[in-house]
Amino acid sequence: MNTILLTAAALILARWIAELWLDRLNRRHVFAHADRVPPAFEHTIDQPTYDKSVRYTLAKNSLSQVEGGYNTAILLLALTSGVLPLALRETTAAFGHSAWAMAGFLFAVGLGFSILGLPLAWHEQFRLEERFGFNTTTQKLWWGDRVKGLLLAMLLGYPLVLLVLKIVDWAGPWWWLWAWGSLLFFQLLMVVLAPVIIMPLFNKFTPLPEGSLRERLLALGRKTAFPARNIQVMDGSKRSRHSNAFFTGFGGFRKIVLFDTLIAQLSEPELEAVLAHEIGHYKRHHILKMLSWSAIASLAGFYALSLLMQQPWFYRAFGFEPAQPVAALLLFALLSGAVTFWVSPLANLWSRRYEYEADTYAARITGEVDSLTGALRKLNEKNLSNLTPHPLFSAFYYSHPTLLERETALAKLRLTSPEPEPTAAT
């Protein structure tokens, strides 16, 4: 064991200890509020539903602790046992050092980690989610999704890794800039193509049917200069009773997606408020901003990788021979999470700011806050969301504000009697 390897192990263990501490901190916080419905929600949620949400939160908390320990043990074993350098040597002995072979090696390692994660993923779906009445998928469908994911990784992920390795060979010291540009182009292409090609492989998307709801939402689209004709319904109920809505795509490929479970759970004014919230993300350019920051972060990551790739000690610390780009890529992928975990509160803070902005837009464009408030309450109730997360746990893991935080912000908007915003296209 050398200093670099010990440092890496310490970073991984520090993340695991922090996750374990946060899980237990949140568990104690939930226990402290488990006796009765919090005063802020005592008129909107009954005691049996609240009790069930507490049990669901605690069950997920327990599984999270198991997952954290399991994943940490696997990662430490992979990095310290010498299995990865041995696998690379065997691969090069059998297939050579070509970019095709090295991309295959990375793909095989990724597949190995995915297979190791299957038991806990299966338990979560068919034991935990089943116990609380959320699971609606079948074994055949669940395993079919895994196979489809594997085939997509082969068709899309393998060529991308191969391209990066080719660029390392071709582009010299500036390879990292060319690789970043290629990745950025691929990500933008997927934003356009995923709603059209990839997502329909897993779910069925149908236009929102004729009726008063469709007319209401189309009117909202005209009012906000948003192409609401792209509102589609996704058959999320074939996998889970959880409900959601999301916005995806650009230009002519842009569309709003409503889960069929969401439509069944909310009233028409509430669905209009949810759609207004999603349109708010578009009007405030949140998707473009998040893609821009993601591009900046990935550029910094590629630059850091280019520096590490030049250091012989980085390879030798983990048992690899120097000047093996594939080893540097693998190590960087395995170790980066131990660093980025600590900045997740900043990313979540940024995301929550966008949620507040979208809520504000929805309130102003509909001229009231009660519908959005009602929708948020129902979503939290139907999804058995944790109503009392510890603030630190929320900071690290919640990309959205809690229900109480959003209701408080919306209540302030009610007091200011918001006027509808101008509807000109932006």
Q: What is the pLDDT along the chain (426 residues), one digit of tens a residue?
A: 589 999 999 999 999 999 999 999 999 999 999 989 988 888 889 999 999 999 999 999 999 999 999 999 999 999 999 999 999 999 999 999 999 999 999 999 999 999 999 999 999 999 999 999 999 999 999 999 999 999 999 999 999 999 999 999 999 899 999 999 999 999 888 888 888 888 899 999 998 888 899 889 888 988 988 865 568 899 988 998 888 877 776 666 667 788 999 999 999 999 999 999 989 998 999 988 998 999 999 999 999 999 999 999 999 999 999 989 999 999 999 999 999 999 999 999 999 999 999 999 999 999 999 999 999 999 999 999 999 999 999 999 999 999 999 999 999 887 665 445 544 443
Cα torsion 113, 116, 122, 125 to 10°: value is: -40
Position 82 scores a pLDDT of: 93
Output the CA–CA distances (angstroms, integers) from residue 1 to 64, 79, 319, 329, 334, in the order listed.
30, 11, 10, 21, 18
Residues 102, 163: contact at Cβ < 8 Å? no
Q: What is the spatial distance between Cα 406 and Cα 393, in angstroms, rounded to a whole number?
A: 17
Contact present, 276 and 173 (Cβ < 8 Å):
no
The catalytic site residues sit at 278, 359
Whole-structure pTM value: 0.89
Domain that holds residue 126: 1-426
- The pLDDT score that the predictor gives to residue 424 is 45
Residues 410, 359 contacting (CB under 8 angstroms) = yes
Separation between Cα atoms, residue 101 and residue 105, nearest integer Å:
6
Q: Which pLDDT score, from 0 to 100, does residue 425 have?
A: 40
Contact 74, 12 (CB under 8 A): no
The CA-based angle 270-276-281, given to 5 degrees, is: 135
Using CA atoms, how far residue 187 sits from 83, 131, 181, 287, 314, in Å, is: 32, 37, 10, 13, 29
Cα–Cα distance for residue pair 38/45, rounded to 1 Å: 9
Instruction: Supply the pLDDT for residue 232.
Output: 87
Q: What is the pLDDT of residue 192?
A: 80
CB within 8 A of 186, min separation 6: which ones?
160
CA distance 48 to 407: 22
Task: Give the total number of structural domains in the chain.
Answer: 1
Strand partners, 256: 247
- The per-residue pLDDT for 256 is 79
What token pair was written down for 269? Answer: 């004014």
Contacts of 149 by beta carbon, 8 Å cutoff, 6+ apart: none
